[in-house]
């Protein structure tokens, strides 16, 4: 996009709508990078194996049909029309049935019938390639590809939009092809041709019975599980496969130790603290120790981000509800709430004493885990739950768990064996865990109110201004606060509602359950059913 730079100072146009978004402090990317370190190649919507098979089948079958027709170099329009036809048929069937997980494009408005049938193009269905296609960046596209994904599709050099299937992708495609051929008439009429075709609702329903993502063929399971995990790769950090496999092995080890069904939140916590439901601890294999430290660091970063973003909302709340427009006045209001809460910090009163008190319980990551398991420290999940619940209730003191959470994150970042690449991720622009610690420790023995005021000014308000300025495109601005002569003013009518971005664990285990690597019950809980069952293809 070309933007004309301003030649002189100017005033922004008045806001005509509320700012919306998820990342007003610019912290999100560091969290996503950590998730990519732990569970690479998938995202939070890649919940089915079948779309991977379908995408592989589209490019595999298109090449096959071109070869049969003697087409040496197909056009991008040829490929686009074939892909759109298959995707429209797939999502049309999905729109007529309930699915447990999300499928893109099912909310599209069907076009009117033409002699009892409908056209099968995105234009006719009002769909957008960049957001409702399976190959879109929001959905299964990146996860299907080589280099950064699971390795089913490889881009054809110099041919934008063209992909060739890998060996694993061909195995997925052939498994699905065998299933689709069970309805030979529809296969030949609707799928096995490059000619433009139209279909009716009965066709969509019949095809859905074959390619519904709720069922997976054994051959698909075998091929997909080999791409998703590898027993031999566990404990290594060299490849996407090894990192994904090691994180899955940590989750599987927890389920094996628990010996019962568990929800995602319980599994997520168990992977950090190695605790069974009866409160007893179990050992983590040496090959998984580093992974556990990294997984816990990710959760601490989740806490840091939630705490800072909730403090931005707290500032907005102070302005909108109480007309408090000065950070020092906000700090004094916070101090009154903080005095009611101890968090097991004893007589510590200034910032240096607070951090020192926490540091004595977090000399190493293992010390931190031990302190949590003996109730000497609250775990990050309970702090995030407290922040979320107090915020939901509009409790005026919801800044208190935010402040303590930041202290605990700073202390954790000082643990001697905290993963260096993880605690440094984001550096100063995105307020890494290490930067958070350095800035708070550098304040010395300032009072709690002074420390809180510093956090508001340097890590919340200034961070917000910096993020908004860096993302200003010459047209739309993302500011939620501004500084006037009388103090801070809110540019929104209601306080922001921050949320925690999912860490992909649910998707990893859901795909693993479809691959028969773990089991999943009707309540969405997972349990171990043995080891990784990779099969050669």
Give the model's pLDDT for residue 4: 59
- The C-alpha atoms of residue 216 and residue 172 are separated, in whole angstroms, by 10
pLDDT on residue 6: 61
In tens, the pLDDT along 228-266 reads: 999 999 999 899 999 999 999 999 999 999 999 999 999
For residues 134 and 57, the answer to whether their CB atoms sit within 8 Å is no
- Using CA atoms, how far apart are residues 202 and 176, in angstroms rounded to an integer? 20
Contact 492, 316 (CB under 8 A): yes
Task: Indicate whether 478 pLDDT > 90.
Answer: no
CB contact at 8 A, 89 and 122: no
Residues in the chain: 537
Q: Which helix (H) or strand (E) holds 163?
A: strand 163-165
Specify burial of residue 243 (Cβ count, 10 A radius: 0-12, 13-18, 19+): buried
Of the candidates 314, 332, 294, 300, the residue with the CA atom closest to the CA atom of residue 459? 314
pLDDT exceeds 70 at position 434: yes
pLDDT tens column, 486-506? 899 999 999 999 999 999 999
Distance CA 32, CA 309 (A): 16
Is 537 a residue whose pLDDT tops 60? no
Q: What is the pLDDT of residue 117?
A: 94
In whole angstroms, what is the distance from residue 152 CA to residue 143 CA? 9
**Which residues have a Cβ under 8 Å from the Cβ of 150 and sit 6 or more positions away?**
41, 42, 52, 143, 144, 168, 224, 227, 228
Q: How far apart are CA 388 and CA 398, in angstroms?
A: 8
Q: How far, in Å, CA of 282 to CA of 18, rounded?
A: 49
pLDDT tens-digit map of 327-351? 999 999 999 998 767 788 877 789 9
Note the pLDDT of residue 473: 64
Specify the pLDDT at position 440. 98
Sorting pLDDT into bands at 50, 70 and 90, what band is 1? very low
At 466 the pLDDT is 93
pLDDT of residue 345: 83
User: Residue 129 gets which letter from DSSP?
Assistant: H
Report the predicted TM-score, pTM, of the whole model to 2 decimal places. Answer: 0.91
Element (DSSP H or E) covering residue 481: strand 481-484
Residue 8 has pLDDT above 80, yes or no: no
- 5 band by pLDDT with thresholds 50, 70 and 90: low
Question: Is 71:43 a contact under the CB 8 Å cutoff?
Answer: no
3-state secondary structure of 34: helix
pLDDT on residue 477: 72
* Residues 262-314: tens digit of each pLDDT: 999 999 999 999 999 999 999 999 999 999 999 999 999 999 999 999 999 99
- 426 near 27, Cβ under 8 Å? yes
Quick: pLDDT tens for 191-228. Answer: 999 999 999 999 999 999 999 999 999 999 999 999 99
d(CA 205, CA 195): 22
Q: 309 and 301 in contact (C-beta within 8 Å)?
A: no
3-state secondary structure labels for all residues of 393-436 = CCCCCCHHHHHHHHHHHHHHHCCCCCCHHHHCCCCCCCCCHHHH
265 half-sphere exposure, CB direction, 13 A CA radius: 7
pLDDT at 393: 93
Q: How many CB atoms lie within 10 A of CB 91?
A: 23
What's the pLDDT band for 531 if we cut at 50, 70, 90?
Answer: very low
Domains of the chain, by residue range, sit at: 28-40+297-490, 50-215, 229-284+502-528
Name the β-bridge partners of 165: 153
Residue 420 burial (CB count, 10 A): 10
Least trusted range by pLDDT, from 6-20, 39-53, 71-85, 498-512: 6-20
Look-up of token digits 């939140």:
265
User: ∠ CA 472-474-478 to the nearest 5 degrees?
Assistant: 35
Mean pLDDT of 180-190: 97
For residue 20, what pLDDT band results from cuts at 50, 70 and 90?
low
110 — pLDDT class (breaks 50, 70, 90)? very high
Nearest to 91 by CA among 224, 193, 216, 207: 207
Cα torsion 85, 88, 89, 94 to 10°: value is 160
Q: Which fold has domain 229-284+502-528?
A: Arc Repressor Mutant, subunit A (1.10.10)
**Over the stretch 134-165, which tens digit does the pLDDT of each residue have?**
999 999 999 999 989 999 999 999 888 899 99
Higher pLDDT, 238 or 6: 238
Rounded CA separation 118/116 (Å):
7
First and final C-alpha spacing in the chain? 45
In whole angstroms, how far apart are CA 131 and each of 134, 136, 417? 8, 6, 42
pLDDT band for position 474 (cuts 50, 70, 90): low
Mean pLDDT calculated for residue range 88-95: 97
Predicted confidence at residue 19, as pLDDT, reads 52
Burial of 41 (0-12, 13-18, 19+ CB in 10 A): buried
Over residues 179-192, mean pLDDT? 97
For 282, residues 6+ apart whose C-beta sits below 8 A from its C-beta are 257, 274, 275, 276
- Look over the chain and give the mean of its residue pLDDT values, rounded to a whole number: 92
Is residue 392 pLDDT above 90, yes or no?
A: yes
In angstroms, what CA-CA distances link 435 with 288, 439, 466, 529?
27, 6, 16, 42
């Amino acid at each position: 996009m070309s933007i004309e730079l301003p030649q002189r100072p100017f005033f922004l146009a008045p806001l005509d709508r509320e700012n919306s978004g998820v990342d007003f402090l610019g912290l999100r990317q560091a969290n996503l990078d950590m998730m990519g370190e732990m569970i690479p190649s998938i995202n939070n919507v890649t919940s089915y194996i079948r779309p991977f098979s379908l995408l592989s089948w589209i490019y595999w079958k298109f090449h096959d049909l071109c070869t049969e027709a003697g087409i040496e170099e197909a056009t991008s329009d040829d490929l686009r029309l074939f892909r759109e036809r298959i995707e429209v048929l797939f999502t049309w069937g999905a729109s007529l049935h309930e699915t447990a997980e999300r499928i893109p494009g099912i909310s599209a408005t069907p076009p009117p019938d033409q002699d009892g049938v409908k056209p099968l193009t995105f234009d006719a269905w009002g769909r957008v390639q960049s957001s409702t296609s399976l190959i879109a960046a929001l959905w299964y596209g990146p996860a299907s590809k080589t280099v950064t994904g699971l390795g089913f599709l490889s881009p054809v050099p110099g041919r934008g939009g063209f992909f060739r299937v890998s060996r694993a992708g061909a195995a997925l495609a052939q498994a699905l092809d065998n299933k689709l051929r069970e309805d030979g008439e529809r296969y030949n009429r609707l799928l096995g041709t490059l000619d433009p075709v139209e279909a009716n609702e009965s066709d969509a329903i019949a095809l859905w019975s074959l390619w519904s993502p709720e069922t997976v063929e054994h051959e698909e399971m075998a091929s997909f599980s080999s791409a998703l995990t590898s027993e031999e790769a566990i404990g290594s950090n060299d490849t996407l496969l090894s990192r994904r496999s090691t994180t899955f092995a940590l989750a599987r080890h927890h389920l094996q130790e628990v010996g019962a069904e568990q929800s995602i939140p319980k599994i997520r916590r168990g992977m950090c603290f190695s605790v069974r439901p009866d409160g007893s601890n179990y050992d983590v294999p040496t090959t998984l120790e580093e992974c556990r430290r990294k997984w816990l660091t990710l959760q601490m970063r989740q806490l840091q981000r939630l705490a800072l973003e909730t403090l931005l909302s707290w500032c907005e709340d102070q302005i909108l509800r109480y007309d408090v427009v000065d950070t020092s006045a906000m700090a004094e209001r916070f101090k009154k709430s903080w005095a009611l809460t101890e968090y097991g910090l004893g007589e510590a009163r200034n910032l240096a004493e607070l951090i020192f008190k926490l540091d004595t319980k977090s000399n190493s990551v293992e010390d931190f885990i031990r302190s949590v398991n003996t109730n000497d420290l609250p775990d990050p999940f309970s702090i995030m739950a407290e922040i979320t619940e107090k915020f939901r209730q509009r409790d005026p003191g919801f800044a208190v768990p935010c402040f303590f959470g930041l202290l605990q994150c700073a202390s954790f970042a000082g643990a001697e064996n905290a993963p260096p690449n993880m605690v440094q991720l984001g550096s100063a622009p995105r307020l890494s865990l290490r930067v958070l610690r350095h800035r708070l420790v550098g304040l010395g023995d300032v009072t709690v109110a002074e420390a809180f005021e510093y956090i508001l000014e340097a890590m919340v308000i200034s961070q917000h201004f910096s993020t908004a300025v860096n993302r200003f495109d010459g047209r739309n601005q993302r500011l939620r606060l501004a500084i006037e002569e009388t103090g801070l003013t809110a540019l929104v009518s209601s306080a922001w509602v921050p949320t925690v971005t999912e860490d992909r664990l649910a998707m990893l285990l859901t795909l693993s359950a479809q691959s028969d690597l773990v089991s999943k019950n009707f309540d969405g809980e997972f349990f171990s059913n043995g080891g990784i069952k990779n099969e050669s293809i």
